[in-house]
Amino acid sequence: MKSRSTFAAALLAVGLLSSPAHAEEQPSEVTIGYLNLVNAQLLAKALGLHEKELGVPVRWVKFGSGGDVNRAVAADQLDFGGVGNPPASIGITRELPYEGIFVLNMLGAVEGLVGRKSAGVATVKDLVGKSVAVPFGSTTHYLLIAALRDAGIKPSDVKMLDMSPSDAAAAWLRKDIDAAYVWEPSLGRMLDNDGQSVLHSADMARRGYPTWDVAVVMKRFSSKYPALTARFVKAECAAIDYWIAKPAESAQLIAKELNLSVDDATRMMKGTTMVPCSDQVKSAYLGSSATKGQFADTLVATAGFLKDQNRLPATKTRNEYAAFLNPAYLERVLSQK
């Protein structure tokens, strides 16, 4: 009896090492909330990478902004999601039960402030008295307020309207708004219809306002399914590898996912920076479990900015924002390569 128990324990140990996701209890389904924008997660979805890696059915739910994701998290509707640094700062401050585990993308020209030519909106200062659409609580909301402040304009001097990018594009075509700070593909539709670029998020990054999106996991999920959480990260890494190795094929898949032309998808990809998984644990990004990276500083700066603008009632310490970042699952994936 003793020897049979020992043999069983040995088999269990082998199973844990060779197939960690299957050594723990499996959920009947995993729900992934994804942002309707250009990044490698679209490739993971199109290629079925998560379905193959997790081994359980995956339900994909599309969101227009990180603010919408925060609301779904608060309602306990997701297992994984994606948010930019402003909604992450808001979520951490309001103690939403999630942690950031993966850099989805760094934002560049894929997000931009577009002004209506016929309304004479060519610069930030031209926004005074104009109607400007922006998804509240998003990266572009944060950058719009920053751009206004840098130009010496009070937010109250602008008629700011809370709209998702798709709603903003519809309002733009109806000529209900004069400007919008949104992301592709809605941004491109506005530029093609009486629009002109005022600035984009790469410009703001150079001014000291970097923006990025991270994948988040609900703590109730990661604590119960740590191996499965690592496999989620592994699938995301495979998608980034595919983006880097096969840009032409990636553009075709993204074009199909977002109902775009391949040329438009290619242009949008050039406005989005993918961070290879081996680089994500460096100090410029998530950092390591022992020493969190500069993303923690960005969260602190973003939260402070939002508080100054009365968008947040209070801020937390750097350690509390750093605690949101959990590269342990990524470190586990990298150690197995």
Predicted model pTM:
0.81
As a whole number of angstroms, the distance between CA 278 and CA 261 comes to: 32
Predicted confidence at residue 234, as pLDDT, reads 98
Contacts 24+ apart (CB under 8 A), 156-160: 157/127, 157/128, 157/129, 158/127, 158/128, 158/129, 158/130, 158/132, 159/129, 159/130, 159/131, 159/132, 160/132, 160/134
- Is the CA virtual torsion 302, 305, 309, 315 positive or negative? positive
As a whole number of angstroms, the distance between CA 275 and CA 228 comes to: 22
Predicted confidence at residue 184, as pLDDT, reads 87
161: its two tokens? 């309207």
317: its two tokens? 């310490």
H or E element that contains 223: helix 219-224
158: its two tokens? 């602008």
Q: What is the pLDDT along the chain (337 residues), one digit of tens a residue?
A: 333 333 333 333 333 334 444 567 899 999 999 998 899 999 999 999 999 999 999 999 999 889 999 999 999 999 999 999 989 999 999 999 999 999 999 988 889 999 999 999 999 999 999 999 999 888 899 899 999 999 999 999 999 999 999 999 999 999 999 999 999 889 999 999 999 999 999 999 889 888 999 999 999 999 999 999 999 999 999 999 999 999 999 999 999 999 989 999 998 899 899 999 999 999 999 999 999 999 999 999 899 988 987 888 999 999 999 999 999 999 999 998 7
φ, ψ of residue 74 in degrees (nearest 5): -60, -30
